[in-house]
């Protein structure tokens, strides 16, 4: 049985996600890509040089963790090295989305986006977490993948300087999409607020209390397992 048939439901969800990225205008042209680890040595990934809204079941590509195509007629995204590095360095991660949401991309070209490391909304604090800026590197290179190394163990979402957004989770691709949508809506509100005045963040006690919310909802702490002791430490203790 082919992988496309074996994982037919996952392929259907994969196409739902790529279609919604396009309809949200989180991707344009050939930009953006996604990857979903279906098994230890099997990754469903977007093909190169295709508008995400045009991808069909016949276009999907399956690769292994060595980067070899194991099923599919198209070539995988040119940012394959980045995804392989993510899954190698963060084996807990299941799915990854790289896209260009308009408000988030606005912060990617700001001289100071450090406010994305601070807590402002309960839902964003518990489902997205602090978001660091990864220094710029040329797309489609191993150098770009290497830029994530200092940040990858501690965080799940990243601003790619002068580029876009990467979000990864331990959930399926749809859960990662919902996380992306939440973050874009949050950043849009923050930019609107900044146009009027300074931002007002949650205090330490409020974030400490949110740890209980995460426990009740069984939300895992961001970063690799065991790296971050608490949500509070992520926001209020020195990095």
For the stretch 115-148, pLDDT in tens is 999 999 999 999 999 999 999 999 888 888 899 9
What is the reported pTM? 0.96
Tokens of 80: 């394959």
| Distance in angstroms (rounded) separating the CA atoms of residues 7 and 38 | 8
Enumerate domains of the chain plus CATH numbers: 3-179+197-236 (3.40.225.10)
Residue 239 clears pLDDT 60, i.e. is over it = no
Residue 238 clears pLDDT 80, i.e. is over it = no
- Angle of helix 173-194 relative to helix 8-23, nearest 10 degrees? 20
Alpha-carbon dihedral angle through residues 43, 100, 110, 198, given to the nearest 10 degrees = -100
What integer best gives the mean pLDDT of the chain? Answer: 96
Q: Does the CA dihedral 214-215-218-219 come out positive or negative?
A: positive
Rounded to the nearest angstrom, the gap between the alpha carbon of residue 66 and the centroid of all alpha carbons in its chain is 21
Residue 30 clears pLDDT 90, i.e. is over it = yes
Of 7-16, 123-132, 137-146, 151-160, the least confident: 137-146
Split at pLDDT 50, 70, 90, the class of 67 is: very high
Q: What mean pLDDT is predicted for residues 64-93? A: 96
Q: What mean pLDDT is predicted for residues 18-26? A: 98
């Amino acid at each position: 049985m082919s992988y496309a048939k074996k994982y037919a439901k996952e392929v259907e969800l994969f196409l739902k996600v790529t279609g919604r990225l396009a309809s949200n205008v989180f991707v344009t042209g050939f930009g953006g890509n996604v990857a979903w680890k279906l098994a230890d040595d099997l990754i469903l990934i977007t093909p190169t040089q295709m508008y995400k809204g045009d991808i069909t079941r016949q276009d999907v590509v399956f690769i292994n963790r060595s980067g070899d195509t194991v099923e599919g007629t198209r070539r995988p995204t040119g940012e394959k090295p980045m995804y392989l590095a993510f899954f190698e360095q963060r084996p807990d991660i299941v799915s990854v989305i790289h896209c260009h949401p308009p408000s988030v991309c606005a912060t990617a070209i700001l001289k100071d986006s450090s406010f994305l490391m601070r807590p402002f909304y309960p839902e964003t604090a518990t489902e997205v977490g602090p978001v660091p800026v990864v220094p710029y590197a040329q797309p489609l290179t191993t150098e770009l993948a290497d830029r994530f190394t200092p940040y990858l163990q501690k965080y799940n979402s990243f601003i790619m300087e002068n580029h876009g957004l990467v979000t990864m989770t331990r959930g399926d691709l749809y859960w990662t999409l919902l996380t992306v949508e939440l973050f874009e809506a949050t950043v849009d509100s923050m930019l609107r607020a900044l146009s009027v005045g300074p931002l007002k963040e949650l205090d330490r006690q409020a974030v400490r209390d949110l740890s209980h919310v995460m426990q009740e909802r069984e939300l895992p702490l961001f970063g690799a397992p065991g790296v971050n002791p608490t949500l509070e430490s992520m926001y209020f203790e020195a990095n």
